[in-house]
């Protein structure tokens, strides 16, 4: 049998570990693997290459993807679907393993109705894919956010400043929430809950009154202030799946807080740094398990599914179910975090 592997959407640390596991498992079971470059574009333009054990040697600890990725939406390209199916047939690819977020897996699901035999692997630092506890890359990214906040903590304390850190997270605030709690943020703003900028200003003033002269705020790029209907975007462009390229809410929050409180305020966008760096042990293990399970899933006919981590178990979830809605932060979880942040403001140095 011949397996094809592609990576689509924004990259995340751990993809290479998954690719390595797919190649080594498939070869061990007597099969061949073809790498597809640049996500779905690679199948449209026939950009493929043979993947063997040599190519995946030494990539376990590397971020990025040796296959390269793109945000290509085949349904926006003339005859996109037909060209993909033609390349799969030409290269005699029996099974496809797409590694990506909801957009990439959504394309695999549409193609399943046209005969594609695929088992997907969830990867996105946003961790917003439903029906799995963890997507590849999320753990590495929250660790990066935590370390960034640790660094900002030291300088914010030394200068008695407010520092706003903008993190990724278009529709889901997991990165801001978990990275923010781990990095000791005093306020966390997420896309799921509209924030009131006056309340945030008052919260920062209260923190000062209690004797703490600095504060850290983690804001997800997709967070929205009350009364606003559009997420902040400096570029204003959309990708091929119709998502606006976000960025800039952190600067806005910092400026509003400076105006409202008079305290010295700075902002920093963590941006694509969150996508880099060597994957954590958790991500390497998760990606390896996903890779092995995806190959086994293909060989046992679990098509039109994605591998998923539920508790400690690997399971196969129908793509139709996983793609119904995003995995977002629930309000109970967010309120518990908010309670802790407000209460812990007493913890002054
Ligand atoms: O795909 C997830 C994500 O990391 C989002 O959080 C972010 O909005 C987006 O990617 C940025 O994508 P790009 O690299 O295309 O600018």
Q: Is any atom of ligand 1 closer than 6 Å to the C-beta of 9?
A: yes
- Are 109 and 103 contacting, i.e. CB atoms less than 8 angstroms apart? no
Q: Is any atom of ligand 1 closer than 6 Å to the C-beta of 231?
A: no
In this structure, which residue's CA is closest to atom 8 in ligand 1?
170
- Are 41 and 6 contacting, i.e. CB atoms less than 8 angstroms apart? no
- Are 270 and 143 contacting, i.e. CB atoms less than 8 angstroms apart? no
184-222 pLDDT tens trace? 999 999 999 999 999 999 999 999 998 899 999 999 999
Number of H helices, E strands in the chain: 11, 11
246 alpha carbon – ligand 1 mean position (Å): 8
- What was the pLDDT predicted at 349? 52
Please identify, by atom number, the ligand 1 atom nearest to the C-alpha of residue 275.
Answer: 4
In this structure, which residue's CA is closest to atom 3 in ligand 1?
10
Q: Which residues are catalytic?
A: 126
Q: Which residues contact 313 (CB under 8 A, 6 or more apart)?
A: none
Per-residue buried b or exposed e for 294-314, using 16+ beta carbons within 10 Å of the residue's own CB? bbbbbbeebbbbbbbbeeeeb
- What was the pLDDT predicted at 346? 66
Q: Confidence class of residue 229 from pLDDT cuts 50, 70 and 90?
A: confident
319 alpha carbon – ligand 1 mean position (Å): 21
Q: Which residues contact 279 (CB under 8 A, 6 or more apart)?
A: 13, 14, 17, 61, 63, 137, 139, 140, 287
Cα–Cα distance between 4 and 10 in angstroms, integer? 19
Please identify, by atom number, the ligand 1 atom nearest to the C-alpha of residue 243.
Answer: 8
Percent of the chain residues past pLDDT 70, beyond the cut: 99
Asked if the domains 2-137+279-311 and 141-275+329-348 are classified in one and the same CATH topology, the answer is yes
168 alpha carbon – ligand 1 mean position (Å): 7
Cα–Cα distance between 46 and 43 in angstroms, integer? 5
Q: Is any atom of ligand 1 closer than 6 Å to the C-beta of 124?
A: yes
Which DSSP string corresponds to 242-255?
A: S-B--B-HHHHHHH
Q: In the beta sheet, which residues pair with residue 35? A: 5, 49
CA distances from 313 to 102, 104, 115, 139 (A): 21, 24, 29, 17
pTM for this predicted structure: 0.96
State the average pLDDT over residues 151-164. 97
125-134 pLDDT tens trace? 999 999 999 9
Apex CA 88: angle with CA 36 and CA 114, to 5°? 120
Mutate-to-test residue for ligand 1 from 7, 10, 101, 218, highest number of ligand atoms within 8 A of CB:
10
Fold annotation for 2-137+279-311: Rossmann fold (3.40.50)
Look at residue 238 and give its three-state secondary structure.
strand
97 alpha carbon – ligand 1 mean position (Å): 21
Q: Quick check: 16 pLDDT over 90?
A: yes
116-127 pLDDT tens trace? 999 999 999 999
Mutate-to-test residue for ligand 1 from 103, 141, 170, 234, highest number of ligand atoms within 8 A of CB:
170
CA 108, chain centre distance (Å): 18
Which two three-digit tokens encode residue 196? 């009131």
Q: Which residue has the higher pLDDT, 347 or 42?
A: 42
Cα–Cα distance between 106 and 108 in angstroms, integer? 5
80: phi then psi, degrees, rounded to nearest 5: -55, -50
Look at residue 1 and give its three-state secondary structure.
coil
Q: Quick check: 287 pLDDT over 80?
A: yes
Residue among 6, 223, 175 at smallest CA distance from 96 = 6
Cα–Cα distance between 331 and 258 in angstroms, integer? 28
Mean pLDDT of the chain: 96
242-272 pLDDT tens trace? 999 999 999 999 999 999 999 999 999 999 9
Q: Is any atom of ligand 1 closer than 6 Å to the C-beta of 100?
A: no
Look at residue 33 and give its three-state secondary structure.
strand
Q: Quick check: 84 pLDDT over 90?
A: yes
216 alpha carbon – ligand 1 mean position (Å): 23
Fold annotation for 141-275+329-348: Rossmann fold (3.40.50)
Residue extents of the structural domains in the chain? 2-137+279-311, 141-275+329-348
Please identify, by atom number, the ligand 1 atom nearest to the C-alpha of residue 169.
Answer: 6
Q: Is any atom of ligand 1 closer than 6 Å to the C-beta of 89?
A: no
170 alpha carbon – ligand 1 mean position (Å): 8
């Amino acid at each position: 049998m011949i397996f094809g592997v592609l990576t689509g959407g924004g990259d995340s640390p751990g993809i290479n570990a998954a690719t390595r596991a797919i190649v080594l498992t498939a070869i061990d079971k007597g099969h061949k693997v073809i790498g597809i470059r640049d996500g779905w574009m690679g199948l449209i333009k026939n950009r493929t290459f043979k993947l063997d054990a040599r190519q995946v040697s030494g990539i376990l600890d590397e971020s990025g993807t040796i296959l390269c990725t793109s945000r290509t939406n085949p349904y926006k390209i003339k005859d996109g679907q037909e060209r993909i199916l033609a390349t799969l047939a030409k290269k005699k690819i029996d099974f496809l393993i797409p590694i990506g977020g909801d957009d990439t897996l959504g394309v695999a699901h549409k193609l399943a109705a046209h005969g594609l035999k695929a088992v997907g692997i969830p990867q996105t630092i946003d961790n917003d894919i439903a029906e799995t506890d963890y997507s590849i890359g999320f753990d590495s990214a929250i660790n990066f956010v935590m370390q960034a906040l640790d660094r900002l903590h030291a300088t914010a304390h030394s200068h008695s400043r407010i520092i706003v850190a903008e993190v990724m997270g278009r529709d889901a605030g997991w990165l801001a929430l978990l990275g923010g709690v781990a990095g000791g943020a005093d306020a966390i703003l997420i896309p799921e809950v509209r924030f009131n900028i006056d309340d945030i200003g008052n919260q920062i003033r209260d923190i000062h009154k209690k004797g703490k002269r600095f504060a850290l705020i983690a804001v997800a790029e997709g967070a929205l202030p009350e009364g606003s209907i559009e997420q902040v975007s400096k570029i204003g462009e959309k990708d091929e799946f119709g998502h606006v390229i976000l960025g800039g809410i952190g600067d806005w929050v910092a400026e509003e807080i400076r105006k409202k409180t008079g305290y010295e305020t700075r902002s920093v966008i963590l941006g694509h740094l969150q996508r880099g760096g060597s994957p954590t042990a958790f991500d390497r293990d998760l990606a390896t398990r996903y890779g092995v399970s995806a190959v086994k899933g293909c060989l046992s006919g679990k098509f039109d599914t994605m591998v998923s981590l539920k508790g400690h178990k690997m399971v196969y979830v129908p793509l139709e179910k996983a793609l119904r809605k995003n995995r977002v932060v629930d309000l109970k979880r967010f309120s518990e975090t908010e309670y802790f942040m407000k209460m812990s403001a007493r913890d002054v140095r």
